[in-house]
Each structure stands twice: as C-alpha cells, then as structure tokens.
Amino acid sequence: MDAVQLLTRMVEIKSVSENEREVAEYLVEYMSENGLEAHIDDAGNAVGIKSGKITAEEQVEDLVLLGHMDTVPGDIPVRQEGDLLFGRGSVDAKGPLATFVAATIQAQIAENRRVIVVGAVEEEISTSKGAHYAKDQYSPVACVIGEPSNWDAITLGYKGQFLVKYRLEQEVGHTAGANSAVGEKAVIWWQKIQEHCESFNEERNKLFDQLLPTLRHIQTSSDGLTEVAEVIVGIRLPLDVDIPQLKNTVCNFDEHAEIDCYSHEEAYKSDKNNGLVRAFLKSIRQQNARPRFKTKTGTSDMNSVGPKWQCPIVAYGPGDSTLDHTPNEHISISEYLRAIEVLKSVLEDSGTLQQKKCK
C-alpha cells in the first residue's frame, strides 16, 4: 500500500476523540508490516519504532514524532477530487501523522538515531491523554509535533489556554423589577472579560502576544422559581501572562456566581537555533522552497510535552490549518507527498539534533 492509500484509509476510519481504537489497530498493523516495531500502549496510542545502525547505545538520539489519531465530530464523505482528498481529519491531523509513518518507513534512519512515531489519543479534547502519557515514557533529544503547517513551513509555538465555567442561580423576579435577570448578569461578566483582554492587548500587534477570549457556550433556564445562567468561556494565552492573576481577575468580575477555571495549558514556544530546525530548513530548501516559520493561536500537544522535555521541538505537517474542523476539510495530495520527502530527509540527516538529552 502506498502513502496515498495509507492516508485515505486513515481518513476513512472514523476516530472521534475517545474512539480511536480502530485506527490505532490499523496503524500498528501497517507499521508492523512495513518494518517498524509497533504496538498500542497503555493510553491507547499507536506507537512505531525504527532505528538506524546503532554503534554505541550511549550515543543514541531518540527523535519522537508525536501526531494524533483523533478528530473532532463531523461526517465528511471521503473522496478524492483531482489533487484534493476530502474527509474529517485529512488536515487535522491524519495528514501529518500519515506523513510521519510514511517518511519513517521510507527513510534510511541516520546512524545512532531511533525514531519513535506516536499516534496519540484525545488531542482534540481537554484531557490530551495520549500526549500526557507519552511525555513520561520518553526522553527524546528532539520532537516533531504532527500538525498542519504547510509543507514548506515549521511551527515554533502555540498559545496556551484555559477554560472558565460560570454558573449563576437566583430566584425568579418580575421582568419589570429592579433585579437584573441571570442572563443579563452573565453577559455583563462576559463583557468585563472582553474589556480586560482589550486593555491587556493595547500596543500588542501580534495575535500570538494577545489575550484572545471566546464565548463557547451560554444558556439560561428556569423552573418558574429559580433561574440559572451557565456560560463557558475560553481564553487563549500569550507567553507572558500572569495566569494566577488572570484567573483571580476573571473570578472577581462576579462575586455572586460560581466560577471555575479549568483545563489550563501554558503557551509554549521553542528556540530555532538547534539541529532539528536546521535539518528542516536544509530539507525544505532542497525542495526548492524558501522555509517559513509560524506561531499558532491555537494549542497542540506541544503545550503538553514541551515544558517537560525541554528539547528542540517544532510542529510540522502538510495541510492548511484554516481548514481544521471545517465542513470543507481537505488536503492536497501533492503537498502531502512533498512533506514526506522533507521529513524523510530530516530523518536521514546525520547532523546531531541536540548535544545533550532532554530532561
């Protein structure tokens, strides 16, 4: 089976978060048949390992390619139209994960290097179960996160985030009365968050450096005696925000409500002066392109493993990230094949990815 068939089959297998077993079994079988040592780990991740010639065990460099198998919900008929493959997960992020698998199979891995491909579970939900498990299993010298960056670009950083649940309950009052309804109070609380973020963002021109709030859910209900407002807000975080102070501020905007800040992930940005980045730049230039650097306003498994591993880390993969989670999600087959060639050259590059192992 060629690389296009691999990706097509992966996209055909539905794998909404917490339901990744079928695609994990398929990947393990595929990797095993193509020369990798493969298994499903205790978290449900699909893992495949391939080594170059080992001349000295103490000199072995582990390179982790950490992608994810799960997708958001949404049934998009899988089909190929010309150069484009449509289907849920084609961009986010089965395209990048298939790139990892195909490149590792095709590559002559550099001497004293071990490549560990991980197809993680639950990246699309707040648990990030697969990445949190993987971060305690490996101590790599470098890591590549499987997320769409376009084939000629690498991503150096992702914003952080936390989610906030707001719940306000009070006795029902007459609409002509002096007391505001719970819905009005919830809206005022949300507006205060927006105002705070706007103030923080003054003179910060880059989205990566700003606080970015989103209203994810709001509803009111009543049983005739009491009324309830429930809200969920997400706030995307820059590198330099004081998170405890921000949480305290958000909670104090309405002292009468129950407010819970949860699912906290700090922003993370990697340095670009290292062997991993140089290998990618060299490989992209060999494909007659000018490499680009990106930072993203979303989050990824980089936020989960980067702080623990403290090693060179980038995100890479084919695909246009603006198509993530959309009804029109699709990936260019030709771009996917070029990404495989880029990553294959990185895996074969004999240069040291880092002089010392990660923490």
CA distance 158 to 341: 25
Place of tokens 């498994």: 301
> Active site residue: 70, 122, 152, 335, which one?
70
Phi and psi, residue 108, nearest 5°: -90, 95
Amino acid at 110: A
For residue 137, give the DSSP letter: T
Residue 87 burial (10 A CB sphere; 0-12, 13-18, 19+): buried
Specify the DSSP element, H or E, that contains 194. Answer: helix 182-200
Is residue 58 annotated as a catalytic residue, yes or no?
no
Place of tokens 């101590």: 139
For residue 18, give the DSSP letter: T
For residue 181, give the DSSP letter: P
Is residue 123 annotated as a catalytic residue, yes or no?
yes
* DSSP H helices in 201-265: 243-252
**DSSP letters along 305-336, please?**
HHHHH-S-EEEE-SS-GGGTTSTT-EEEHHHH
Which residue, 266, 261, 301, 292, is CA-closest to 118?
301
CA distance 300 to 116: 18
CA distance 350 to 354: 12
The CA R_g of the chain, rounded to the nearest whole Å, is 23
**Lookup: tokens for 80:** 């190929």
Place of tokens 């906030």: 164
Phi and psi, residue 41, nearest 5°: -85, -175
Task: Find how far residue 102's CA is from the centre of its chain.
Answer: 20
Decide if 166 contacts 181 (C-beta within 8 A): no
Query: Which positions are annotated as active-site residues?
Result: 70, 123
